[in-house]
Structure 1
Amino acid sequence: MRLSLLQPLIERPGPWASVYADVSHGTEDAAKQQELSAQYAADQLSDQGADAVTCRAVHDALITLRRPGESLAHAGRAVFATGGEVVLDTPLAGPPTMRGATWSPVPRLAPLLDALGENPVCLVVYVDRTGADFELRSDTAHERAGQVSGADYPVHRTTSSDWSERHFQLKVENTWEQNAAEIAEAAGQAFEHAGADLLLLVGDVRERRAVRDRLPDRLRGVAYESEHGGRASGADSTRLDRDIAQVRAGLEQDHVLDAVQRFQTGEGRSDGQSSVTSGVPSLIEAAREHRIDTLLISPDGGDAGREVWVGPDPDQLAVRGTEMQYLGEVHPAPARADDALLRSAVATGAQAVLLHHSDPVPPGGLGAVLRWSTPVTH
């Protein structure tokens, strides 16, 4: 998951209202249902001790109409607020598995891993001989991202063997190559600007290949092609949507498998060093020392909901409340281990991966691949 999305949540001390809501009201009384859901969330927060202005901010956010580009079907929302202000309001592709509102010292972050997943962003490049249109696709976005136009003459070859026609044909080839190079360069710039994770080329096979061959080296490993759809209006979009979903799901699965394999490899080292850790005490120590590279979380593991102690700073976390005075916090508060570790991961630029039942999980459901190896102690 892109933990950078959560950066605004570590810049405030809290306490935090965290709300996961189903806003897919498609009935005739949708407005009434939306109001009831918003009021229920506000009442939940109030019952847990949240201040009135924060409850009102959450209520108002949940009754706001969907923003442009958000899905109208099976939609969800994750809303985080503190001090009377909504700090993060992110749409979800479907109703969240865990619904409800919590008021806690740190944001309730772990369910967002399940709700958003990796959510890789795909830059779709619709190519033809004269240029390309760019589009961004993710679970919650379907938006135009610019276009590029190359030379439009000459672009069509002939079948004549006359010398002049062969000369003209060479010009066509040159025009194609020039346009393909311009499209590839613009695609690279759009990819970087959007922070995309993968790229899908759509169009005639020769035009796709011409652009792919000219992509920057850094993009070729995440570039794919689809034979469905095209730049022209009316092109087949149903099968293209399937192709986009398939390459995005493949990338997400690859990331999870990579994290699991790195954890397993780190566990099995025979050189007296370890590049992984598990167990709440060891993970907290690694988090305080900024050693976590990738945090692995299984929501069903017993350690995920274990109580730890935190302060307002992401580095202030400990197994016991009495330890917090040495970290500069005299009024520690209890928090879930998964949320506290995720907050630290956001602050230190680490990654996080949600593991499911079929994945080999670390003991207790929490583990980490470390940024550098440490000696194994027994």
Structure 2
Amino acid sequence: MRLSFLQPLLDRPGPWATVYFDPGQADEAGAKRRELSVREICRTLEQEGADAATVAAVRDDLTGLSPADDPAGRVVFATGGEVVLSHRLSRRPEGELACWAPLPRLTPLLELCGQDPVSLVAYIDRTGADFELRTAAGPQDSGHVEGEQWPVHRTTTSDWSERHFQLKVENTWEHNAAEIAEALAAAHEESGADLVVLVGDPRERPAVRDRLPEAVRAVTVETEHGGRSAGSGSAALEEAIDNARQEHLHRRVDEALDRFRAGRVGTERPTDAVEGVPAVVDAAREHRIDTLLVRPDGPDLHREMWAGADPDQVAVRRTDADFLGDDDPVSVRADDALLRLAAATSADVLIIPFEEVTDDIPAGGLGALLRWTYEPSAA
């Protein structure tokens, strides 16, 4: 999961109000419950020390939320009397969370926004394709391409002129497949999608896939359900896309854990992975983290750390604060400090689901795959 959308949070000193809010049902009873929930959330923030202007900004933002627009709810981050970021959730929070803390409360976001891969869906026929990008914020148009429109249909006779016409049809299909593949590769590069799903014409799909660059082809799957025409979506298509996304995620978790086991300290190869708060903090400060691994049940997630105003200013012990360059570091949770730094350094973040781990790795619940390896010191 890329945290680039958290960029607005990185340049503000805090403290922060963080609220994970479930708008409930779109009926009269639901409206009454929302009103009571907003009142309780504001009371909690006030009790924890939030200033009146920030509480008012949170109240106004939550009051304006609609179950129709945000069925799973939103997370709101506010400081200095304004809502800095309000982000849509893809899963309902299990009980609302409201807190006032030196840093934004980020870890619940990982599970509630989901880490389903960003998917680029290409709806293909023999004349062109429409592209749709699917993210945690929902689907959005990502462009289209039109190839040659004639001729595109075969005939059923064996007459020489008709066979010649069929050859032109074949050439049109081939030309359009190449056009679609080129446009799809460009859309993939622009979007940074993790997965490409080809939907539509059973002949054109493999023709397009074969013409994709190898790197794009490696993350491309096909489904026989659905098509390009309007209204051709179906429950079967949505299930196929969801299955493709889940399979991609499971492969990614498996590959990350294999790399982590092979590369952590104590193996015979140069270190490619680290675990535990001190080692992860060292790697984070040096911007060496490629992927931050988070096990939600890990005890180290709520371990105390020290942080300054800049995301790079993190330390394990208060006595190390002199190296931060901040005269007044504050006590923070380890997971929030490291996630803020991951967002600042464009590191990826990967949740290790409970069911994927049998040997409690990474230790303490926090680990990292590194951007480059290094030889551990003899000491």
Where on the TM-score scale, by shorter chain, does this alignment land: which range? Answer: over 0.9
Counterpart contact for 1:97–1:115, Cα < 8 Å: no
| Residue 204 (structure 1) shift | 2.2
Equivalent-residue separation in structure 2 for 1:297 and 1:12 (angstroms) = 25
| Residue 268 (structure 1) shift | 6.7
Work out which of the residue numbers 267, 284, 290 in structure 2 matches 1:293: 290
Counterpart contact for 2:23–2:70, Cα < 8 Å: no
Q: Does 1:19 align with 2:16?
A: no
Match of 1:156 in 2: 153
Work out which of the residue numbers 242, 254, 267 in structure 2 matches 1:245: 242
How big is each residue's C-alpha offset from its partner over 1:132-188, in whole Å with a ceiling of 9 and x where there is no partner?
222222343123333222222111111222221111111111111122222222222
Letter in 1 for 2:354: H
Q: Does 1:220 align with 2:217?
A: yes
Equivalent-residue separation in structure 1 for 2:175 and 2:305 (angstroms) = 60
Letter in 2 for 1:292: I
Q: Secondary structure at the match of 2:28?
A: coil
List aligned pairs for 1:155-234, cutoff 5 A.
155-234=152-231
Backbone CA RMSD of aligned residues: 2.1
After the TM superposition, which segments of 4 or more aligned residues of structure 1 sit over 6 Å from their partners? none
Counterpart contact for 1:298–1:365, Cα < 8 Å: yes
Q: Secondary structure at the match of 2:284?
A: helix
Relative distance call for 1:272 and 1:211 in structure 2 (3 A) is closer
Letter in 1 for 2:257: V
Match of 2:58 in 1: 58
Match of 1:320 in 2: 317
Counterpart contact for 1:297–1:365, Cα < 8 Å: yes
Relative distance call for 1:66 and 1:251 in structure 2 (3 A) is farther
Q: Does 1:110 align with 2:107?
A: yes
Q: Secondary structure at the match of 1:308?
A: strand
Larger deviation: 336-345 or 20-29? 20-29
How big is each residue's C-alpha offset from its partner over 1:261-304, in whole Å with a ceiling of 9 and x where there is no partner?
11110137654742222222222222222222222122222111
| Residue 244 (structure 1) shift | 0.6
Counterpart contact for 1:274–1:376, Cα < 8 Å: no
Q: Secondary structure at the match of 2:300?
A: coil
Structure 2 unmatched ranges of 5 or more: none
Equivalent-residue separation in structure 2 for 1:12 and 1:308 (angstroms) = 19
Counterpart contact for 1:134–1:144, Cα < 8 Å: yes
| Residue 226 (structure 1) shift | 0.6
Relative distance call for 1:347 and 1:374 in structure 2 (3 A) is farther
Q: Does 1:31 align with 2:31?
A: yes
Give the TM-score normalised by structure 1.
0.92
Relative distance call for 1:123 and 1:370 in structure 2 (3 A) is closer
Give the TM-score normalised by structure 2.
0.92
| Residue 367 (structure 1) shift | 1.6
Equivalent-residue separation in structure 1 for 2:66 and 2:218 (angstroms) = 36
Counterpart contact for 2:23–2:65, Cα < 8 Å: no
